[in-house]
């Protein structure tokens, strides 16, 4: 009993609240997309083998074609499309478990038609495009501006500002910083986001 108390007291120090060893569970969480039928499972710590539709993967095969209409692999995330009439609340936990199994053996994933492995520049461009079309671009739009992706090469992403953002140094700095920070979380070897 004393041992339990002592143990818990040691654990309770804030310094111990950090990750020690990697837990065995897959490091993933679902996010909404603009399409309610599509859920985006963000994956950390596992490199996904290709980008494009998934034909088959251990664990997911039981759902593909039934509860799941489609599974699409992107850099750093897996998009799952529910079959009509399915609810994510009910389906979600099963997809999570299946994805956990699948992420345990990505080498066994089979690509669907058109799926292929992206090179470094393509991956960078893909991720930048996703952020600009998604959360970062939405903020620019909310402030009456827009961001255009010019190119992505060798760890450097170049963008162009339009609308209210153009010519406003503050907007340029916050937008590029925001984009760079979020991009770096997905593509660790990004070097800079620059204005074209």
Partner 1 sequence: MSSALSHHAHAGSADSGGGSPRIALIGSPNGGKTSVFNRLTGLHAKTGNYPGVTVSRSAGVARIGGAEYSIEDLPGTYSLSPISPDERLVAELLDGGVKGIGAPDGLLVVADSTALRRSLLLFAEVVQRHMPTALVLTMSDELTRRGGSIDTEALGRALGVPVVTVVANRGIGIGELRELITGWRDWSVPPVDPPTDTAELAGWVDSVLAAGGYEDPRADARTERIDRVLLHPVLGTVIFFAVMFGFFQAIFTWAAPLQDGVEDFFGWLAGLAAEHIGNPLLSSFVSDGLLGGVGGVLVFVPQIVMMYFILALLDAVGYMSRAAFLMDRLMSRFGLEGRAFVAVLSSFACAIPGVMATRTLPNSRDRIATMLGVPLATCSARLPVYILLVGILIPDGTRVGPFSGRGVAMFLLYLLGGVSALTASAVVKRITGRHDGVLPFYMEMPPYRIPTPRSVGIAMWEPTKAFLRKAGTIILATTIAIWALTTIPLRGDAELAAAGVDPGDEVAVTAYTMEHSAAAAIGKAIEPVFEPLGFDWRIDVALLGSLAAREVSVSTLGQMASALDPEDDSEVAQGLDGWTYTDGPRAGEKVFTPATTVALLLFFAFALQCMSTVAIMRRETGGWRWPSIAFGYMFVLAWVMAFLGRAVTLLIT
Write out the residues near partner 1 by the rule CB under 8 A: 1, 4-5, 8-9, 12-15, 17-19, 23-32, 36, 39, 42-45, 88-89, 92-93, 95-97, 100, 135, 139, 181-182, 185
Q: Minimum CB separation from partner 1 for residue 22, in Å?
A: 8
Q: Minimum CB separation from partner 1 for residue 17, in Å?
A: 5
* Best CA proximity match to 46, nearest among 117, 104, 95, 108: 104
78: left (phi over 0), alpha (psi -120 to 50) or beta: beta
Q: How far apart are CA 54 and CA 37, in angstroms?
A: 17
Count of CB atoms within 10 A of residue 139's CB? 16
Nearer to partner 1, 93 or 116 (CB): 93
Q: Minimum CB separation from partner 1 for residue 116, in Å?
A: 26
Nearer to partner 1, 100 or 111 (CB): 100
Nearer to partner 1, 181 or 192 (CB): 181
Provide the CA 4 distance to its chain's centre, in angstroms: 40
Q: How far apart are CA 100 and CA 102, in angstroms?
A: 5
Q: Minimum CB separation from partner 1 for residue 114, in Å?
A: 27
Nearer to partner 1, 9 or 84 (CB): 9
Q: How far apart are CA 136 and CA 99, in angstroms?
A: 27
């Amino acid at each position: 009993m004393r041992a339990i108390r002592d143990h818990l007291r040691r654990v309770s120090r804030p310094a111990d609240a950090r990750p020690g060893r990697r837990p065995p569970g897959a490091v993933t969480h679902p996010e909404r997309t603009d399409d309610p039928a599509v859920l985006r499972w963000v994956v950390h710590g596992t490199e996904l083998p290709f980008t494009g539709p998934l034909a088959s993967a251990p664990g997911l095969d039981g759902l593909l074609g039934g509860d799941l209409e489609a599974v699409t692999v992107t850099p750093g995330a897996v998009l799952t499309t529910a079959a009509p009439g399915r609810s994510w609340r009910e389906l979600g936990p099963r997809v999570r478990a299946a994805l956990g199994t699948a992420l345990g053996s990505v080498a066994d994933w089979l690509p669907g038609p058109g799926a292929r492995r992206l090179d470094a520049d393509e991956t960078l461009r893909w991720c930048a495009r996703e952020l600009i079309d998604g959360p970062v671009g939405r903020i620019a739009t909310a402030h009456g501006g827009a961001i255009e992706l010019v190119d992505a090469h060798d760890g450097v992403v170049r963008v162009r500002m339009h609308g209210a953002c153009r010519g406003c140094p503050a907007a340029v700095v916050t937008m590029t910083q925001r984009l760079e920070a979020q991009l770096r979380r997905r593509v660790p070897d990004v070097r800079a986001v620059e204005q074209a």
